[in-house]
């Protein structure tokens, strides 16, 4: 079987992808791997390439959410709705009348920070969940909303704490952070996360920083599932028109910067979180009902970037999906990962002592050739680290 590097080089040479950059490290300092692949006479990808991270933003915002808990500004299990009036008023959707009018009922449970951090607060995404999309269409919400309140002024889909749906809840975590600290999320991140880790290529607003904007790569698009990619600088991104930080989807960063966060969490150096707080990220956080809901969705994991074997050993930690058993081929218990809309991907496996980031900028999401490359990269990291 071809190695990851052979597969990546072939994919780039044959216009299957426009470029790829990967970085991996191990806890013992024996593995320090970095490799970039770019098309001949094409866009150059390297460690300092700036990517629109989309949902890979969620890890940073989740870490920041745990920081404000550490600071004693809020607890994981208190009701956050007094801080978020726009979320507090949302009711639970129970159906639609014959004329398309939504039928809702008031929620009974509070909404907690833990639920927001674990996508178990009742929220959904209109592009992923038909009921939310139908509600959004009925309410005529603007397609390019400038604020979190405008973008996600929708409806709950289940009683908070009693289900799981991947959602906009991390954008709400960003709002909680702003409320309890009195700081804009960009300023808070720069002071408490990016600054301490030396992440100087990271921001919610790339256009404001010429040095960052100049290193962004165009979005590659595969319009024909079996055809070549086309790069387009004109392709609108999710953050087009935003007026404030969206903690769940708005960050721009480089693979080198992102690795600084992954490595800090891997070696537990306490640069951004105390050891006892960081440990929560790698522990199951879902309620029994919420976990049952997640496991039902894991029977068909086509909503996830990467490969997931049917072990029934999944939960949600803080920041990503969590492996909570030992039946996987090489992922250990406590393994955490997530990705983003343009198919970038990260993972941390503290038990195996490895972490990695896969950088790419290609749509549509869940691109099969890219998923094959991610799987090959991840396995090769374990091999290089001697963990297979």
Phi and psi, residue 314, nearest 5°: -135, 145
| Residue 123 exposure: Cα atoms within 13 Å on the Cβ side | 28
Alpha carbon distances (Å) from 202 to 195, 205, 216, 263, 361: 10, 9, 11, 16, 16
Contacts of 82 (CB under 8 A, 6+ apart): 88
Question: Are the C-beta atoms of 59 and 194 separated by less than 8 Å?
Answer: no
19, 42 in Cβ contact below 8 A?
A: yes
Based on the residue annotation, tell me whether 55 is a catalytic residue of this protein. yes
Question: Annotated catalytic residue: which of 10, 36, 38, 55?
Answer: 55
Tokens 């790829």 sit at which residue?
A: 20
Strand 362-363 with 219-221, pairing? parallel
Non-local CB neighbours of 254 within 8 Å, separated by 6+ positions: 47, 48, 49, 50, 51, 201, 202, 215, 359
Residue numbers annotated as active site: 55
């Amino acid at each position: 079987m071809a190695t990851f590097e052979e597969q990546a080089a072939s994919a780039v040479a044959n216009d299957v992808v426009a470029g790829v950059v990967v970085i991996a490290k191990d806890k013992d300092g024996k593995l320090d791997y970095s490799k970039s692949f770019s098309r001949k006479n094409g866009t150059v990808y390297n460690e300092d390439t700036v990517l629109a991270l989309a949902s890979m933003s969620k890890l940073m915002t989740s870490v920041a959410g745990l920081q404000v808990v550490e600071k004693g500004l809020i607890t994981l299990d208190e009701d956050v709705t007094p801080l978020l009036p726009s979320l507090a008023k949302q009711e639970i959707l129970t159906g639609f009348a014959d004329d398309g009018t939504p039928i809702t009922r008031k929620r009974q449970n509070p909404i907690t920070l833990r639920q927001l951090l674990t996508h178990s607060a009742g929220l959904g995404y209109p592009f992923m969940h038909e009921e939310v999309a139908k509600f959004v269409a009925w309410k005529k919400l603007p397609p390019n909303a400038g604020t979190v309140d405008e973008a996600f002024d929708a409806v709950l889909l289940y009683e908070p704490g009693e289900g799981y749906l991947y959602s906009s809840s991390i954008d709400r975590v960003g709002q909680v952070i702003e409320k309890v600290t009195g700081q804009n999320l960009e300023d808070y991140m720069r002071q408490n996360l990016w600054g301490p880790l030396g992440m100087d290529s990271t921001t919610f607003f790339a256009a404001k920083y010429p040095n960052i904007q100049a290193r962004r790569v165009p979005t590659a698009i595969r319009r024909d599932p079996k055809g070549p990619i086309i790069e387009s600088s004109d392709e609108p991104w999710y953050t087009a028109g935003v007026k404030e930080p969206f903690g769940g989807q708005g960050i721009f960063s480089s693979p080198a910067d992102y690795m600084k966060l992954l490595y800090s969490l891997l070696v537990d150096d306490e640069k951004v979180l105390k050891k006892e707080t960081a440990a929560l990220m790698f522990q199951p956080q879902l309620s029994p009902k919420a976990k049952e809901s997640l496991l039902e969705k894991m029977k068909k994991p086509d909503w996830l970037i990467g490969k997931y074997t049917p072990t029934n050993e999944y939960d949600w930690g803080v920041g990503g999906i969590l492996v909570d058993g030992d039946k996987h081929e090489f992922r250990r218990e406590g393994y955490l990962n997530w990705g983003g809309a343009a198919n970038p991907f990260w993972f941390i496996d503290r038990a195996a002592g490895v972490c990695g980031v896969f950088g790419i900028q290609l749509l549509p999401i869940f691109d099969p050739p890219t998923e094959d490359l991610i799987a090959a990269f991840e396995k090769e990291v374990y091999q290089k680290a001697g963990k297979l």
